């Protein structure tokens, strides 16, 4: 194994993606970090021992490479608001909301993580895109089980990465393949370490259980962001938002026809989905919350944008027939994170995924009116 500095070993100890091993810990681990940093020699021994003992950790070097992302920020680090309304074109690296990127070194020489929404904003500017490609392998369309799914999606990632600012695997499609599907998803995540991965999982359970889901998604699978369901309310959602450097998109108004059944019930003069938007706003103290708002319903996108500046994830483009222009115009507010447009089937089953992604990127940019 390659020699590394003490800091990287520390990050491994705190929250490495530990597939099948000890999965204790959570967003409060920075406390333990500060305690153990005093004794680097002992620490190094422990870390090397753990890596050697983990038969599922296929690429030990990847842990170091992603270590910085996996440390949770201490509470005294500056918080980043997710509700900026800056114009996209006019902002450069001097954007004050990006200050964490160039912040002075924190105490104890810790590696400071960049929060998900800030990585998303930076990458969106850098690559000039608002596109997110969904990685949802369908065994009816891809031969070869989990290995075939991995091969196909790896190829899509390689071909489309320059045109996206995020990848969005949906958990369901990988779960179909059983344990091999989870292993494949872990490998896929390693394919594009520079691009955030958003796990579309729509989890929602009671607090104790939601803590376990958060560990699974942010710890074991090392995802940068996730979707969650609001049906169980604030105590449930809070178990995800506690991970302040990760993004949490709350289902608000989904892209399917059945969305009307529950989400459109009127209560106190407004639909349930607007109550959910207000609920999400109230949990956004760390600036790490967004909303899922289907691109198939531009009128609802506009209604929700009128009451909140939270970042939107807009699925439903492509195979689901969403109206890209209308949805983007309704969602976009100048914040590069305000309008993340997700397409899956129309890209990953295209004969040329790169060309499809590039065309969609251009179509979305045109709709924002700030990029030709």
Quick one: 108 or 172, whose CB is closer to its own copies? 172
Quick one: 19 or 79, whose CB is closer to its own copies? 19
For residue 165, how many C-alpha atoms fall within 13 Å in the half-sphere facing its CB?
26
Residue 32 binds its own copies, judged by CB under 8 A: no
Quick one: 88 or 273, whose CB is closer to its own copies? 273
- CA 100 → CA 66, 106, 212, 243, distances in Å? 18, 11, 29, 17
Residue 142 binds its own copies, judged by CB under 8 A: no
Contact 63, 222 (CB under 8 A): no
State which of positions 257-296 bind its own copies (CB under 8 A): 257-263, 265-268, 272, 275-276, 279
Figure out which of the listed residues 40, 207, 281, 325 binds its own copies, where binding follows CB under 8 A: 207
Q: Is 334 left (phi over 0), alpha (psi -120 to 50) or beta?
A: left
Quick one: 103 or 319, whose CB is closer to its own copies? 319
Contact 263, 285 (CB under 8 A): no
Q: Quick one: DSSP state of residue 334?
A: S
Figure out which of the listed residues 172, 285, 299, 352 binds its own copies, where binding follows CB under 8 A: 172
Quick one: 52 or 262, whose CB is closer to its own copies? 262
Calpha distance 20→220 (Å, rounded): 8
Residue 113 binds its own copies, judged by CB under 8 A: no
Figure out which of the listed residues 12, 216, 314, 317 binds its own copies, where binding follows CB under 8 A: 216
- CA 365 → CA 87, 135, 253, 294, 328, distances in Å? 13, 22, 23, 18, 9
The CB-of-17 to its own copies minimum distance in angstroms stands at 8
The CB-of-245 to its own copies minimum distance in angstroms stands at 19
Q: Which stretch binds its own copies (CB under 8 A): 173-181, 188-196, 302-310, 362-370?
A: 173-181
Burial of 159: CB neighbours in 10 Å, binned 0-12, 13-18, 19+: buried
Figure out which of the listed residues 131, 183, 303, 304 binds its own copies, where binding follows CB under 8 A: 183
Tokens 């295209």 correspond to 350
Q: Which of 59, 202, 352, 361 is catalytic?
A: 202
Count of Cβ atoms closer than 10 Å to residue 258 Cβ: 8
> What is the token pair recorded at 226?
């996730």
Residue 179 binds its own copies, judged by CB under 8 A: yes
> What is the token pair recorded at 10?
């520390």
Active site residue 59: no
> What is the token pair recorded at 329?
């115009």
State which of positions 317-336 bind its own copies (CB under 8 A): 320
State which of positions 38-77 bind its own copies (CB under 8 A): 56
Quick one: 228 or 324, whose CB is closer to its own copies? 228
Residue whose C-alpha is closest to residue 281's, from 253, 244, 309, 300: 309
Residue 181 binds its own copies, judged by CB under 8 A: yes
Residue 186 binds its own copies, judged by CB under 8 A: yes
CA 307 to chain centre: 23
Q: Which stretch binds its own copies (CB under 8 A): 34-42, 113-121, 137-145, 362-370?
A: 137-145
The CB-of-151 to its own copies minimum distance in angstroms stands at 14
Figure out which of the listed residues 29, 44, 180, 325 binds its own copies, where binding follows CB under 8 A: 180
Calpha distance 94→355 (Å, rounded): 32
> What is the token pair recorded at 36?
């153990």
- Total binding residues toward its own copies, as defined by CB under 8 A: 73
The pairing of strands 270-271 and 312-314 is unpaired
**How does DSSP assign 128-176, residue by residue?**
T--EEEEE---TTTS-SHHHHHHHHHHHHHHHHGGG-SEEEEBHHHHHT
Figure out which of the listed residues 67, 113, 196, 230 binds its own copies, where binding follows CB under 8 A: 230
Quick one: 114 or 186, whose CB is closer to its own copies? 186
Residue 234 binds its own copies, judged by CB under 8 A: yes
Catalytic machinery residues: 202
């Amino acid at each position: 194994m390659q020699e590394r500095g003490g800091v990287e070993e520390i990050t491994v100890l705190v929250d490495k993606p530990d597939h099948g091993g000890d999965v204790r810990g959570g967003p409060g681990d920075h406390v333990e970090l500060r305690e153990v940093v005093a004794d680097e020699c002992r620490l190094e021994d422990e870390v090397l021992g753990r890596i050697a003992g983990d038969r599922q950790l296929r690429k030990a070097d990847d842990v170091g490479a992603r270590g910085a992302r996996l440390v949770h920020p201490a509470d005294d680090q500056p918080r980043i608001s997710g509700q900026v309304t800056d114009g996209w074109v006019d902002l450069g690296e001097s954007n004050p909301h990006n200050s964490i990127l160039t912040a002075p070194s924190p105490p104890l020489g810790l590696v400071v993580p960049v929060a998900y929404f800030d990585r998303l904003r930076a990458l969106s500017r850098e690559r000039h895109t608002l596109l997110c490609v969904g990685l949802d392998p369908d065994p009816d369309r891809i031969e070869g089980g989990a290995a075939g799914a991995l091969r196909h999606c790896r190829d899509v990632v390689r071909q489309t990465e320059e045109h996206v600012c995020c990848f969005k695997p949906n958990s369901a499609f990988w779960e179909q393949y059983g344990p091999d599907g989870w292993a494949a998803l872990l490998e896929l995540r390693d394919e594009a370490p520079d691009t955030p991965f958003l796990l579309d999982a729509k989890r929602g359970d009671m607090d104790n259980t939601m803590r376990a889901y958060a560990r699974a998604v942010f710890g074991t699978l090392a995802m940068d962001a996730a979707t969650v369901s609001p049906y169980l309310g604030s105590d449930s959602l809070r178990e995800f938002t506690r991970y302040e450097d990760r993004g949490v998109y709350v289902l608000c108004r989904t892209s399917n026809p059945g969305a009307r059944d529950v989400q459109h019930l009127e209560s106190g003069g407004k639909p349930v989905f607007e109550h959910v938007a207000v609920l999400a706003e109230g949990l956004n103290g760390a600036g790490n919350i967004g909303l899922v708002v289907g691109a198939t319903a531009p009128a609802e996108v506009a209604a929700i944008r009128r009451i909140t500046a939270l970042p939107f994830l807009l699925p439903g483009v492509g195979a689901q027939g969403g109206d890209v222009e209308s949805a983007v115009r309704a969602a976009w507010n100048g914040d590069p994170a305000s309008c993340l447009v997700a397409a899956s089937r129309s890209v990953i089953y295209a004969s040329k995924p790169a060309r499809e992604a590039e065309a969609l990127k251009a179509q979305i940019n045109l709709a924002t009116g700030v990029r030709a």
